[in-house]
Amino acid sequence: MSDRTTHWQTVYTTKAETEVSWYQDQPATSLRLIREAGAGPSSRIIDIGGGASRLVDALLAAGYGALTVLDISEAALAAARARIGAAAAAVDWITADVTRWTPPARYDIWHDRAAFHFLTDADDRAAYVARLRSAVVPGGAVIIGTFALDGPETCSGLPVVRYDAASLAATLGPAFELQDACTEAHGTPWGSVQQFQFCRFRAC
């Protein structure tokens, strides 16, 4: 088990989903960007680093039916499955480190909120982008939310890389065309505010 896996397994076995800073009851920005990407009921959507996030609940409730959630922590995915109940059977749950994963299919929409910014090593970022390029269909959408330039420098005891739209676009490279960008002031469960940068790209 890698150090990264151990870290996130520990997080999700020692804290409830509402006790982590990234918890959102309503993932409004993510849902909006997914809708604006043209997602339909049969669109193949993957949530990278989805963990115990409630995005999958919201997508199921909105009628999306081809959902995949990938996370490095099996404990996080187990928490989400338990919360969702019988409807979890309709979701493809993948336990994997995205930088070492071989995509089994291609997706119309790739969503990542608060996973990519933990990749502080250039080789890990390159591995992520390689998976991204192989996993998203031409014309598909890539939605990534990271800490903004004025966001936190660390999270969950780990350093992060902060981005604006230009630096995130440069990191992903010319295979992805920036379509939309916005910031979000995320309120943590204990009342502090974290600034996020969200970007939506089109896979060329």
Q: Does the pTM of the predicted model rise above 0.95?
A: yes
17 pLDDT exceeds 90? Answer: no
Parent domain of 177: 3-203
Residues 76-88 have a mean pLDDT of: 96
Over residues 116-163, the pLDDT tens digits come to: 999 999 999 999 999 999 999 999 999 999 999 999 999 999 999 999
**Number of domains the chain is built from:** 1
Looking at residue 21, what is its pLDDT? 93
Phi-psi region of 6 (alpha: psi -120 to 50; beta: other; left: phi over 0): alpha
Judge whether residue 26 has pLDDT over 70. yes
For residues 84-109, average pLDDT: 97
pLDDT at 189 over 80: yes
CATH of the domain at 57: 3.40.50.150
From 14-28, 69-83, 106-120, 162-176, the region with the lowest mean pLDDT: 14-28
Arithmetic mean of pLDDT over the chain: 96
pLDDT score of 16: 87
pLDDT of 1 higher than 70 = no
The answer, yes or no, to whether residue 96 has pLDDT greater than 80, is: yes
What is the Cα–Cα distance from 71 to 54, expressed in whole angstroms? 13
